[in-house]
Amino acid sequence: MVRSRFILALALAIPITASADPGSFYLHNGDRVVFYGDSITEQHLYTNDIETYVATRFPKLNVLFWNSGVGGDRVSGGWAGAIDLRIKRDILPFRPNIMTCMLGMNDAGYRPFDQSLFNSYTTGYQHLLTTVKNDLPNIQYTLIQPSPYDDVNYPLNFPGGYNAVLIKYADEVKVLAKQYNALCSNFNSPMVAMLEKAKSIDPTLAAQIIPGRIHPSPAGHLIMAEQLLETWNAPALVASVRINADTGTIHTENSTVSNYKDTAGVISWTETDGSLPYPLDLKDKVTQLVLKSSDFVEKLDQEPLTVSGLTATSYTLSIDGKSVGTFTSMDLASGVNLATIETPMLDQAETVQGLTDTHNNVRTIAWRNLQIPLQNDTTVAGPLNNSLKSLNKLDESLQAERSQKAIPVQHTFTLTPA
């Protein structure tokens, strides 16, 4: 059943035209992507969101991902190694043709603007990009402007606040993107706009979007994932089905419908979509607030079912024999967004998300728990190398399994007068 009025509101808020050409999406078959950055990347949240989106929206697309974020890192590196070691160990072995990079939160020093720190950031960032490109000349960069330090929900630490300093660094990232013919994705101002709106709705809950001011909650990471996906021209549409019950005509987009029947006012059909919805955690109150304060659903998660020409006042929609909600005929004529309702399609997407989490856990075991602490121990070099190879194969096999689990299956839809 529909979980709450909030979810029902999301389900009914459908701009049917909110779609994009999937063929224009930035990633292509065979791409190898490395996410590089500091602890905000290391959280495996916006990166996992992006991986799950790609797997569910493009189940036939073979793309591999690696997260190489390390807490505390600057453009010069950090506790896990200086930048040249980080490049050699954490980027180059995967032979990526696409790399994202978000650095700056630590580089600016958590203080008022310091020109010397800024200069080091610029030259260090250039060194990072140039060094990687020398070894991988065909690599494509997406440079990410630093996510915000929350000066919206908390008092400023000094006049102007730390996020104003980060914006100067964000402006430099935009300059570097032009210099290296890279894409540039803005994680700062869209997040700030969302925080300001959230604060106007619920100040207490809004402070939980970026608890501690630096590391966003899972709900906050959704907005960062949205920005990167929009930079990559991600489509909003999951699938679209439009039925005229009066004439029996059906129009679909990224979906196939068959076995349509209208028996004494009970309408049924079988449907196989080309994609799955994004698995949002709609029970989480912070997620609810973030979705109310942003356009995530509108821009990235549209699965409209539109049925016109109905004669009863309201209808119960069942999928595979399970009721998923009751809607008025006017609601159905306007369109119901199935992406924000508990459906078998959402259940399948949650399975895909679980495999995203699992493959990244394997990556963490191999890299953070074995490779980094043991890399200088010559007594275990052979066994360590064999273990890393096995774990890397497991990681890639889990990503392949995720692709299989993301292939949509056929479902039976029934609309029964309530």
Cβ atoms of residues 90 and 387 within 8 Å: no
Amino acid letter, residue 57: R
| Per-residue pLDDT at 18 | 38
98-127 residues labelled b (16+ CB within 10 A) or e (exposed): bbbbbbbbbbbbeeeeeeebbebbbebbee
Instruction: Give me the DSSP letters along 1-45.
Output: ----HHHHHHHH---TT----GGG-S--TT-EEEEEESHHHHT-S
Cβ atoms of residues 246 and 41 within 8 Å: no
DSSP, collapsed to helix, strand or coil, labels residue 232 as coil
| Domains with residue ranges and CATH for the chain | 28-231 (3.40.50.1110)
Measured at the CA of 267, the angle between CA 261 and CA 272, to 5 degrees, comes to: 75
Amino acid letter, residue 368: R
| Per-residue pLDDT at 16 | 41
**Tokens linked to 312:** 């009863």
Burial (CB < 10 A; 0-12, 13-18, 19+), residue 318, is middle
DSSP, collapsed to helix, strand or coil, labels residue 215 as coil
Tell me which residues of the chain have a pLDDT lower than 50.
1-3, 15-21
**Distance, CA of 5 to CA of 244 (rounded, Å):** 27
**Distance, CA of 139 to CA of 122 (rounded, Å):** 20
Helix axes 162-179, 115-135, angle to 10 degrees: 30
pTM for this one?
A: 0.94
Residues in the chain: 418
